[in-house]
A and B are shown apart, each in its own frame.
Chain A
Amino acid sequence: MGLSGAEYERILGLMGREPNYLELSLFSVMWSEHCGYKNSRPLLRRFPNEGPRVLQGPGENAGVVSLGDGWALAFKMESHNHPSAVEPYEGAATGVGGIIRDILAMGARPVALLDSLRFGPLDEERNRYLFREVVRGIGGYGNAVGVPTVGGEVEFSPAYSGNPLVNAMCVGLIRVDDLMRSRATGEGNAVVLLGSKTGRDGIHGATFASDELTEESESKRSNVQVGDPFAEKMLIECCLELLGQDLLVSLQDLGAAGITSSASEMAAGGGVGIDIEVEKVPRREAGMEPWEVMISESQERMLAVVEPERVEEALALAERYGIGGTVVGRVAGHGDLRVVDNGEVVGTVSAEHLADAPAYEREVLRPAYLDEVQKFEVAEIPEPGDYNEVLLSILSHPNLRSRRSIYNQYDHQVGTNTVVLPGADAAVMRIKGTRRGFAVTTDGRGRHCYLDPRGGGAATVAEAYRNLSCVGAEPVAVTDCLNFGSPEKPAGYYQLAECIEGMSEACEVFGTPVVSGNVSLFNETDRGPIYPTPTVGMVGVFEDVGRHATPGFKRGGDMVVVIGGSSRVSLAGSEYAEIVHGRVAGRPPGPDLASEKKTADLVREMVRSGLVDTAHDVSGGGEIVAVAEMALAGGLGIEYEEGELERMTEGQGGGRRDVALFGESGDTFLVAVPQERWEELEDALSRAAGYDLIGTVGGDRIRVGDAIDLKLSDLRRAHEQDLFGIPGEVVGGSEAVG
């Protein structure tokens, strides 16, 4: 059942007697890594989680931050890695369904989805299959349920072969006054199960998610859950209506560990007990045992607490929406989760004990592999001859290629709130009836975290902060998903601890507390562990959503300026080193957080003041890749200044053109302004650590000294190839959205 001997002893101690099979099943699911955070709880305490805008930090179904004017956002990210490895379409689809219900449980209307994905290289058939089906699954669910998928990210590396990462994030909008919490109260109140019938789906799925993937687990077929976005859509509308009519005392989604975890969390939250009359739970399959019903992970279900006199009204509403609604229990005065089958008590466990999973703290020991992989000298890689070729090969590499063939499979506009569509640094959403809005991004830097866990953790957060700043939003808070290998191995534990440390430091400097998150450990296959890959979802706010920027060049004649302290550009751990030279090595410069913040805040201020409407950050691939992305997004070329390439090469390039063009650094941005606003820009830039006019927008080519001269149409052909590799396929008809 996935409980160790010591854990069993602990249960004996807590209960003061032998648990029966049902009771043991409840412990087993609740004490799994997935629900109980055995290996991560002590480390997670490091995350800062307070701030002036935080209305709800970790500990609830989702974190909530205030947007002002009584508006709030609820958001959370969650992993569905293991289910997606086994059955990619349904694994990804149910991942989306699950995270939507977490947001719904806060009382919020889900308004945006994002997906953060990792796969092995696309030259392996199995990886192509996983990638294609995961994307289809996310679209298949999100599109049908009517929540726009507005952003996300994807990377490919051999480290994820056979162990894809599928992290889904959902953002919900709510009035502060309407916030719901998972807290059962009022002895005698009814516990109502809403939504689909209960089958044997994912029995022990939570424990499964915490095992390493093996050949054997691939044949555990009964773990597979199938999503029903139609049922979810009706569940969303029904729950929002129930909340709107004030019919609910509390609401909670059913995720991992099903009724067991929902009921015990609600009971613990309210300091009460809950009796579940298990025979009342509507079932899809015959002959289910009470323990199976209690831990089933059937999808599209919610648990609500309703006052007895309002039950009838609530059930009538469920009927109107065509979803099931059944009273399956009562709030009780004792503190237990008690399971009753046709009048007979078949299990009694204290809700507190279920929540009291053991926590394992380990020594943080620096693994030896780091010394090995951090060795890197620029001189080890030869300077390329043909920079045009290099730029084309980088822009067409799956890690830097346009994501259009992914996000065009996602409905990113339903809801008519998406102001900046996918393809920009962050999605920008408006709030109807107000000038306000928010921006949201997900980011992860697995390779960087592998080469330097602490620096990579900080860089992950910094990247998200930059992305929000580029569009002009004020970053306010973070959700995260910690995707790691086994914490029982010293290297795995070190990576986890160090990444959390780096992320925490960055969150502190940026003032973006972590308000929700999720942990996915044991991501290992026969080929070894994945890169340590914490992903973050960050949200930012706009007072005036009309004042935002996008990367695409907008006007010929605009002057393009690079801003930031790019004196630290480096090829260590860069895309260029991996794509062109096959090297994953070196210690990337850790972010200088204070300077990062200063530069990002400056860029944001320029957008907010209306001075800048074209901005982009320099990220994977370095300055020239960022410039090419801006050109392609806007359909306008750029001519670098005379002598600029030489200046770059002598300066930050340390004499090397490839370092200057493709070197990566943290706090570097590109903005473009019309000539007539140049003086205003210079004024604003007086506070910058450094800046440099690099060129002028115009024409249909990118020209950089005598190194690069490429037509946009050639760049576009390379950059916008279909990631799903259907020969001859042309994706999309219109220009990229800038």
Chain B
Amino acid sequence: MRVGVTVFPGSNCDRDALYAVERMGEEPVELWHAEADLKGVDAVIVPGGFSYGDYLRPGAIARFAGVMGPLEEFANGGGPVLGVCNGFQVLCEAHLLPGALLQNTHMRFVCDRVRVRVETANTPWTAGCEGGEELTLPVAHNEGNFFADAETLARLEDEDRVVLRYVGNPNGSANDIAGVCSEGRNVVGLMPHPERVSDPALGSDEGLKILRSVLVGATL
């Protein structure tokens, strides 16, 4: 499988995501922001970092980048897309995912390991997990506080579109939401960083469960 990783100016987990794709045993493909070309990849990861310095609002500028046109088409056509951290923010700004990520309520950057529960295995990025399973994943963000209006929240819950939920909420997110998916379920946004736990040399490869899920979907 060819897995693309977008690189925006200011992305800083792009190399980590590319490395994690290697750890998955798949072929990593760098997708440069200015090129409107997905290079025929089978799945896309929009990585973390501070695209355009997070100036204005995280993700606000990146959503207009050249690569986003074909990415939106790919997503709307059902292609699996995973936004991690800043990638989640970009996908919200691009309206590929509902809601927005506000500043953490305690107004501090938080870098930690948190417990999360996989709320649904019915997405291409959690198909390899058990529903209800708990994972320990790293978070590192200043704007991870998921917000959506009451109606949207209710719909997300009803439609089983909350993908990960914090066991201990690190940022004030509504309904302890750590990740959601699109209506078509193929676009997933997560605040935690699965790519940071994709190598036993760093103490855990639990994140590979999430990343390798996309292979489960592909073989269906």
Contacts and interface: CB of A to CB of B under 8 A. Distances in A.
Q: Do A and B bind each other?
A: yes
Given A416-B16, A416-B19, A230 B111 contact: no
B91 to A, nearest CB: 20
A283 to B, nearest CB: 22
Nearest to B33: A322
B140 A411 contact: yes
Contact of B109 (A139, A230, A320): A139
Interface stretch (A82-90, A140-148, A177-185): A140-148
Nearest to A732: B112
Interface stretch (B183-191, B194-202, B209-217): B194-202
Nearest to A416: B16
B155 interface: no
Contacts of A140: 109
Interface stretch (A269-277, A402-410, A603-611): A402-410
A358 to B, nearest CB: 42
Contacts of B50: 143-144, 146, 229-230, 233
A143 B16 contact: no
Contacts of B167: 733
A432 B12 contact: no
B111 A408 contact: yes
Contacts of A145: 12
A338 interface: no
B19 A413 contact: no
Interface stretch (B51-59, B69-77, B95-103, B156-164): B51-59
Contacts of A734: 112-115, 136
Contacts of A144: 10, 12, 50, 53-54
A419 B15 CA distance: 17
A500 to B, nearest CB: 36
B19 A233 contact: no
A143 B13 CA distance: 11
Interface string A285-323: 000000000000000000000000000000000001110
B19 A409 contact: no
B202 A416 contact: yes
Q: How large is the interface on B (under 10, 10 to 19, 20 to 34, 35 or more residues)?
A: 35 or more
Nearest to B203: A419
B138 to A, nearest CB: 6
Interface in A643-674: none
Contact of A409 (B9, B108, B168): B108
B202 A419 contact: yes
Given A321-B9, A733-B112, A733-B114, A146 B49 contact: yes
Given A411-B140, A734-B115, A234 B10 contact: yes
Contact of B199 (A228, A321, A409, A416): A416
A723 to B, nearest CB: 12
Given A144-B10, A419-B201, A546-B201, A229 B53 contact: yes
A136 B142 CA distance: 11
A415 B12 CA distance: 8
B12, B15, B140 — which one has the most chain A CB atoms within 10 A of its CB? Answer: B12
A680 B110 CA distance: 42
A737 B170 CA distance: 17
Nearest to B11: A146
A409 B10 contact: no
Nearest to B193: A413
B111 A407 contact: yes
B105 to A, nearest CB: 11
A76 interface: no
A734 B168 CA distance: 9
A409 B140 CA distance: 8
Interface string A415-436: 1111100000000001010000
Contacts of B112: 408, 732-734
Contacts of B113: 734, 737
A415 B18 CA distance: 11
Contacts of B203: 419
Main secondary structure of the interface of B (DSSP, over half): mixed
Contacts of A228: 53
Contacts of A407: 111
A486 B70 CA distance: 62
Interface string A709-738: 000000000000000001001001110010
A414 B114 contact: no
Given A144-B54, A230-B50, A419-B203, A414 B9 contact: no
A410 B111 contact: yes
A414 B195 CA distance: 10
Contact of A414 (B115, B140, B199, B201): B140
A144 B8 CA distance: 13
A228 B9 CA distance: 13
A95 to B, nearest CB: 18
A412 interface: yes
A234 B9 contact: yes
Contact of B110 (A234, A409, A414): A409
Interface string A668-684: 00000000000000000
Nearest to B199: A416
Contacts of B196: 413-414, 416
A699 to B, nearest CB: 24
Nearest to A404: B112
Contacts of A322: 9
Contact of B201 (A230, A430, A732): A430
Given A412-B111, A733-B115, A230 B10 contact: yes
Contact of B111 (A409, A416, A733): A409
B80 to A, nearest CB: 22
Contact of A418 (B142, B170, B202): B202
Nearest to B49: A146
A448 B170 CA distance: 39
Given A418-B202, A419-B201, A419-B202, A733 B168 contact: yes
Contacts of B10: 144, 230, 233-234
Contacts of B53: 144, 228-231, 233
B109 A411 contact: yes
Given A143-B140, A546-B201, A726-B106, A414 B168 contact: no
Question: Which residue, B20, B54, B195, has most C-beta atoms of chain A within 10 A?
Answer: B54
21 contacts: A143-B140, A143-B142, A144-B10, A144-B50, A144-B53, A146-B12, A146-B50, A228-B53, A229-B50, A230-B53, A321-B9, A408-B110, A409-B109, A414-B16, A414-B48, A419-B203, A430-B201, A726-B106, A729-B106, A733-B170, A737-B113
Given A144-B10, A414-B48, A416-B20, 17 more contacts: A143-B50, A146-B12, A146-B50, A230-B9, A230-B10, A230-B50, A231-B53, A322-B9, A408-B111, A410-B109, A411-B109, A413-B138, A413-B140, A733-B115, A734-B112, A734-B114, A737-B113
Interface of B: 9-10, 12-13, 15-16, 19-20, 34, 48-50, 52-55, 106, 108-115, 136, 138, 140, 142, 167-168, 170, 193, 195-196, 198-199, 201-203
Interface of A: 136, 139-140, 143-146, 228-231, 233-234, 320-322, 407-419, 430, 432, 545-546, 726, 729, 732-734, 737
